[in-house]
Chain A
Amino acid sequence: MSLPDDTTPPEAANMIVARDVDVHYDDKQALFGVSLDVVGGNVTALIGPSGCGKSTFLRCLNRMNDVIEGCRVSGRIEIEGEDIYDRSLDVVQLRARVGMVFQKPNPFPKSIYDNIAYGPRIHGLAASRGELDEIVERSLVRAGLWDEAKDRLRQPGTSLSGGQQQRLCIARAIAVDPQVVLMDEPCSALDPIATARIEELIDELRQNYTILIVTHSMQQAARVSQRTAFFHLGYLVEVGTTEQIFTNPHDSRTQDYITGRFG
């Protein structure tokens, strides 16, 4: 796919628009009126002390909170202009468009190949075995796992190392060709080398996907993201370019957090 020479890509278009999002777990409110615009083709980092609602917000974007009993979401969230909490929306389709990578690598108890092929199979993305092979290879290549995995596609996904498993989960997520990839502290269970590998990967993936990443490491946010949102006690305190947030935060709470005064 190539763009006509004389047009610039609509960089500033807001991929995701959230307005006044409240989330309750039973009687406990976890998010208070969060309004956030996510720019497409970018990495947006969500930072903040633990328990401040970063994961909760992330899980609103693919309606993963639906599967938690007692969780209620209100407000408005649009992805590419479509209200994802609209009654007529197909949640299953939404989750195919908005992929997710979790804190702990969670490969299915299947072979490496079947892990990647899982999504394409349930969505009928491949018409033939050859196409499926192609999707699997392409996803593994993009996730930077092809060289390590190509000779052991039939082995269980759990036989990989932790960092490899997490890249497998990323490959699995991008195999269904989503527009947005949500990552919830994807490196928190990994060692520094595996972490660096994933960070490189995130930087490459931003060419093709809009990425939101929750991280508790401010260095990581600074390294991989273009925009950063700071959450505190269920409120979105401040959002801006990563550079601005880290060098010139407007809010004193942001300042305190990034200088390590709490959290």
Chain B
Amino acid sequence: MSAFVVTAVILGLAALGYHLGRGRARGLVSNGSGTARLHSLPGYHGGYVALWCALPAFGLLALWLALEPAALRYQTLSTLGDQVDGLAPERVELLYNDIRNLAAGTATSRAPDAGLKAAADSHARLEALLPWALLVVASLLAVAGLLYGRRRLTPAFRARNAVERSLRWILIASSTIAVLTTIGIVLSLLFEALRFFDKVPLAEFLFGLEWSPQTALRADQVGSSGSFGAVPIFAGTALISLIAMLVAVPVGLFSAIYLAEYAKRRVRDVVKPVLEILAGIPTVVYGFFAALTVAPQVRGFGEAVGLDVSSESALVAGVVMGIMIIPFVSSLSDDVITAVPRSLREGSYGLGATQSETIRQVVLPAALPGIVGSILLAVSRAIGETMIVVMAAGLAANLTANPFQAVTTVTVQIVTLLIGDQEFDSPKTLAAFALGLVLFAITLVLNIVALVIVRKYREEYD
């Protein structure tokens, strides 16, 4: 809330700075010697002042927000004096939590004594004061920046170049944030996974055939073996993805060929958006479509022909997931097929080839790398898909190739591992990170391969 207000104030001051800078730049040439000419347009002078006004203030804001919690904690704990010295870190944490709860007026884990009350009071006071301090300091900095920037304006001043340079830095900063966040996520995945591999050997995880992540909470508990062999769940993922691709690749590819080669313009203008709407349906909708509509049908059909189909089956999840992926395959393939130069088709027609001969022997070979790329992207979507399998495929980690049985997938297991009241550092919880890491590695490789193929294909026709 306070950050929001401060941001608004800084932006307001920056707007003011823009006006002042522009006005001053105009004034520099109109009131004076006549020979003076501005190096840059007045707008650039305004932009320069606005940047000087906003950038340092925003920098301060970011720094402040990063440091505030730690500073608050340090200040509060220091009011308790030597009471905290020699306490174990968890104890200090608990104490600090109590102080904060007391300050906020919610329940605490112990009866508050006087020292605690005093600390809570000082905490509350500080917490109320800090936003104001931030507002004042940030505004002062913004005003100072504004004045400094404005003072530097002269007719010869190269405001245009200065703005150009700082824009570049702003862009670099944004992309750095994006990259760092990604790296951060991957690293946290990696470290938690390493903690998991401290408790469970890597080989067992990768090659073990039994997945049963319920660990015993108490030593005498039965039925909780806690084995972490991930093979069944990766096999389940592979099975469901395979079924999905068996549905999505032919249907998607053929509809792409129809749209790109056979459909009249008017049909194409209707069908293509409709297919793309299919891609916009939330996966949870596909999920209950699978569980409530498709699964009973498949089961009924299975019973009719004397097959034993469990109510949650790999088949249902795979088929519905395949339907979900059709638009990806068809839309990407349609793009690559349409990108095959018209001249190639005409060359083939000109030799007396029929349309389907042309498609099979000229268009598809030319588009093949792009099509393979689009299929790989679709596979990585299938592997990462969660909602449908949660609802339709089940939780049982069966190691089976029978599509009528229930299987489970990596994503489903991650979900089930993390909902529950396990301690955070139990193998069960940490296993989710290990699964996530492997999943990430697989989709990363698939994406890289797909992108390389697609890029190679692009080069050929430019």
Question: Which positions in A face B, CB cutoff 8 Å?
Answer: 62, 64, 67, 69, 92-96, 99-100, 102, 104, 106-110, 118-119, 122-123, 158, 169, 172-173, 176
Contacts and interface: CB of A to CB of B under 8 A. Distances in A.
A95 B343 contact: no
B348 interface: yes
A117 to B, nearest CB: 11
A94 B352 CA distance: 7
A106 B351 contact: no
B32 interface: no
B349 to A, nearest CB: 6
Contact of B350 (A64, A107, A122, A158): A64
A118 B348 contact: yes
* Central interface residue in B344, B346, B352, by most chain A CB within 10 Å: B352
Given A108-B348, A109-B365, A110-B365, A122 B343 contact: no
* Central interface residue in B343, B346, B351, by most chain A CB within 10 Å: B351
B351 A119 contact: yes
Nearest to B344: A106
B349 A122 contact: no
Contacts of B352: 92-96, 119, 122-123, 176
Interface string B126-169: 00000000000000000000000000000000000000000000
Contacts of B27: none
Contacts of B362: 108-109
Interface stretch (B5-13, B37-45, B102-110, B353-361): B353-361
Closest 10 CB pairs of A and B: A96-B352, A100-B350, A95-B352, A106-B343, A119-B351, A106-B347, A109-B366, A92-B352, A122-B353, A108-B362
Given A67-B346, A102-B346, A106-B341, A122 B265 contact: no
Contacts of B220: none
Interface in B328-372: 341, 343-354, 357, 361-362, 365-366
A149 B190 CA distance: 55
A176 B351 contact: yes
B460 A109 contact: yes
Given A93-B352, A118-B361, A69 B264 contact: yes
Contacts of B345: 67
A93 B353 CA distance: 9
Given A104-B343, A118-B361, A95 B350 contact: yes
B248 to A, nearest CB: 26
B349 A67 contact: yes
Contacts of B265: 69
Q: What's the dominant secondary structure at chain B's contact region?
A: helix
B351 A173 contact: yes
Interface in B233-272: 264-265
B interface residue count range (under 10 / 10 to 19 / 20 to 34 / 35 or more): 20 to 34
Contacts of B361: 108, 118, 122
A99 B351 CA distance: 6
A69 B344 CA distance: 17
Contact of B347 (A108, A123, A158): A108
A233 B267 CA distance: 33
A93 B349 CA distance: 11
A48 to B, nearest CB: 22
Interface of B: 264-265, 341, 343-354, 357, 361-362, 365-366, 460
Contacts, number: 70
Nearest to B369: A109
Contacts of A92: 352-354
Contacts of A67: 345-346, 349
A108 B350 contact: no
A107 B348 CA distance: 10
A123 B352 CA distance: 8
A96 B349 contact: no
Contact of A95 (B264, B351, B366, B460): B351
Nearest to B340: A109
A99 B350 contact: yes
A39 B248 CA distance: 55
Given A100-B346, A108-B348, 7 more contacts: A62-B350, A64-B346, A100-B350, A104-B343, A109-B362, A123-B352, A176-B352
B344 A108 contact: yes
B322 to A, nearest CB: 30
A178 to B, nearest CB: 9
A155 to B, nearest CB: 15
A33 to B, nearest CB: 26
17 contacts: A64-B350, A67-B346, A95-B349, A95-B351, A99-B350, A104-B343, A106-B343, A106-B344, A108-B344, A108-B361, A108-B365, A108-B366, A109-B366, A118-B351, A119-B351, A122-B352, A172-B347
Given A118-B361, A122-B357, A102 B351 contact: no
A60 to B, nearest CB: 13
A118 B345 CA distance: 13
* Central interface residue in B265, B347, B357, by most chain A CB within 10 Å: B347
A102 B349 contact: no
A102 B354 contact: no
B272 to A, nearest CB: 16
A115 to B, nearest CB: 9
Contacts of A108: 344, 347-348, 361-362, 365-366
Contacts of A100: 346-347, 350
Nearest to A175: B351
Contacts of A64: 346, 349-350
Nearest to A66: B349
B338 to A, nearest CB: 14
Contacts of B350: 62, 64, 95, 99-100, 102, 173
Contacts of A69: 264-265
Contacts of B354: 92
A107 B362 CA distance: 10
Contacts of A102: 343, 346-347, 350
Contacts of A110: 365
A100 B346 CA distance: 9
A99 B348 CA distance: 10
Contacts of B346: 64, 67, 100, 102, 106
A92 to B, nearest CB: 5
A67 B345 CA distance: 10
Nearest to A94: B352
A143 B347 CA distance: 17
B259 to A, nearest CB: 14
A104 B344 CA distance: 10
A172 B348 CA distance: 10
A170 to B, nearest CB: 12
